[in-house]
Amino acid sequence: MKLVECVPNFSEGRDKDKIQAICREIENTPGVKLLDVDPGESTNRTVVTFVGPPEAVKEAAFRAIKKAAEIIDMTKHKGAHPRIGATDVCPFVPVSGVTMEECVQLANELAERVGRELGIPVYLYEEAARKPERKNLANIRSGEYEGLPEKLKDPEWQPDYGPAIFNPKSGATVIGAREFLIAYNINLNTRDKRLAHEIALNLREAGRAKRNESGQIIRDADGRPVMIPGKFKYVKAVGWYIEDYGCAQISINLTNYKISPPHLVFEEAIKEAEKLGLRVTGSEVVGLIPKEALLMAGRYFLEKQGKSPGVPEEELIYVAIRSLGLNDVAPFDPKKKIIEYRVEEAGPFLYNLSLREFANQLSMDTPTPGGGSAAAYCGALAASLTSMVANLTYGRKEYEAFWEEMKRVAMIAQNYKDEFLRLVDEDTRAFNRVIEALRLPKATEEQQKIREVALEKANQEATFVPFEGLKLAHNLLELISIIIAKGNKKSLSDAGVALMAALAAAQGTFYNIQINLPNVQDLDFKSKIQEEACRLIFLVEEKVAELRKNLHNEIGKNEN
């Protein structure tokens, strides 16, 4: 899932009609989901959070910035929060399936369009910044809206996009790309916020002021405190007391969870708490958290227990929630707290059916679900068995030399399993879209053209979905070859079933490609898919024949 978060801040926090008008632009953009709207009266500012695929998010951001420029008049704006324009800041945040480089590209494309179409000066910040001094938002905001006319005259502060001309009504906008910020609190068995803050000083990047033997702060030649850095980069932390919970917390902002993830900060907080005679009782996620942050935690704690981290996503998240104590002060519902789950398509999904229900669906007199979905499910079974054998090998002393390799195999096989399960539903959806295209009206020449375009798109998709399955089955054989050669010898029969299920998946998807390809009109598409599909199925069948021999040899050794 390609998913980008966008968190624009608008200079309006009091007029509900204006706030709703801006949010409607976001909600009405196809593919985008509005997650949160947080207005502040004293700041006269609203922070909006929405997510979706990159292009959809970029479009929604532009529409919102445009609407804000129409209805917010900065000449009349007053508020407690620093600001530079009607849309003060608009960051793109990679969530899943998207790189920071892609978000930087989105920021540049949006900034160019805002400058060109709306006549608003735009500065790029954070990862999108073109100059070091513009990386920090505070530097760009210096002087705020009121200082903008003079700032735009300064050659050093020419905007990255848009005119270097003061726009009285809209001001300027800062657009950029940054990592996801996780608001994360660690709970202590004390009400003393001073003790919580003592731990925070040791954890946070800024650290604490260095003191002499008399307890006085040591300062440098410029009079600034000399700091002792904390243990984690990209961590901001303070200690406070929360009356509603009846405990002190270490309140943390993780500004780059990929470098300083919650589970490592949590583990270090436990050590620091013990030094003070305290216990960490759990932790809390405020707002949303990317799924990967919890998957990282789940893998970490499983490995700490001497177990393989190559388990289903649901198990990793369960382990993370229990290990981090995320239910300590408030319920943690993964469906509500994990950002990817908030934007998942609504079901029903075929892969959520029971085995009997799925078999029953296949047996009915309807074309979907059919052989394509069944082939994809064979692939999911093959990947699951591959992970199983790897997990049954990991942690056993006699196979210690292969533990790291088995861990890798189990984790990759889990990813393949999830991809095959996605294709179970996607194959059915693709065929249904072909049927929908065939049912489009064709009474007029214009209707015929629309129908032809829709049908061609649907037929290409119905061909490409099983092609994805064929590639997956081909890649899976590499993992199966490893478990046959190095896996737990007591599980060779499971490896054999995985091998044959992978072959069924490959052949089944190949047959579906062959039946759908004649309906495609694009000759270049047909040629490329056909050539690559034939190459892959040849390699698969050749590899399976080789692995069957290897399997029989290993079983023979095992019998002896």
Which residues form the catalytic set? Answer: 81, 427
- 346: its two tokens: 């609504």
Integer Cα distance of 280 and 271 in angstroms: 9
- Residue in the block written with tokens 């990759």: 412
Question: Which DSSP state fits 136?
Answer: S
**Count helices and strands in the chain by DSSP H and E runs:** 17, 13
Question: In the structure encoding, which two tokens stand for residue 132, read together?
Answer: 């070091």
Rounded CA gap, 363 and 248, in Å?
59
Residue 440, SS3?
A: coil
Q: Which of 139, 147, 251 is nearest to 201 (CA)?
A: 251
Beta strands 122-126 and 235-242 are unpaired
Cβ contacts of 144 within 8 Å, gap of 6 or more: 82, 83, 84
The C-alpha atoms of residue 65 and residue 89 are separated, in whole angstroms, by 10
Q: Which residues pair with 122 in a beta bridge?
A: 161, 173
CA-to-CA distance for 158 and 524, rounded, in angstroms?
Answer: 47
C-alpha torsion 272→278→282→285, nearest 10: -60
**Of 183, 187, 184, 159, which is closest to residue 173 (Cα–Cα)?**
159
- Do residues 395 and 446 lie in contact, with contact meaning Cβ atoms separated by under 8 Å? no
Structure tokens given for 92: 């793109």
Q: What is the DSSP string of 454-484?
A: HHHHHHHHHHHHHHHHHHHHHHHHHHHHHHH
With CA atoms as reference, report the closest residue to 288 among 49, 29, 46: 49
Closest C-alpha among 82, 66, 178 to residue 129: 178
Two tokens, residue 237: 């932390």
Q: How far is CA 144 from CA 139, 149, 396, in A?
A: 10, 10, 63
DSSP state of 234: T
Backbone angles phi, psi at 510, to 5 degrees: -65, -45
State how far the Cα of 462 lies from the Cα of 457, in Å rounded to an integer. 9
Helix axes 445-486, 523-559, angle to 10 degrees: 20
Amino acid letter, 157? W
